[in-house]
Amino acid sequence: YAGFGIGLYLAKEIIDRHNGKIKVESKLGEGSNFIFSLPHET
């Protein structure tokens, strides 16, 4: 799908600014999962 690069870049920038983490899991022929986590302040 065209155009996904800029969206992932922006997502990473936002997650980084909130001290979060992002990772990708990919399986050939099945697709990719993008997983992110953000810290929770108490």
- The amino acid occupying position 36 is F
pLDDT score recorded for residue 6: 81
What beta strand segments (E) does the chain contain? Answer: 21-27, 31-37
The whole-number average pLDDT for the span 29-35 is 91
Q: Which residue has the higher pLDDT, 29 or 2?
A: 29
Q: What is the mean pLDDT of the chain?
A: 87
pLDDT of 39 over the 70 cut: yes
Write phi, then psi, for 11 (nearest 5 degrees).
-60, -45
Residue environment code for 12-26, b if the CB has 16+ CB neighbours within 10 A, otherwise e: eeeeeeeeeeeeeee
pTM of the model: 0.65
Q: What tokens were used for 14?
A: 């936002």
pLDDT classification of 5: cutoffs 50, 70, 90: confident
pLDDT score recorded for residue 7: 83
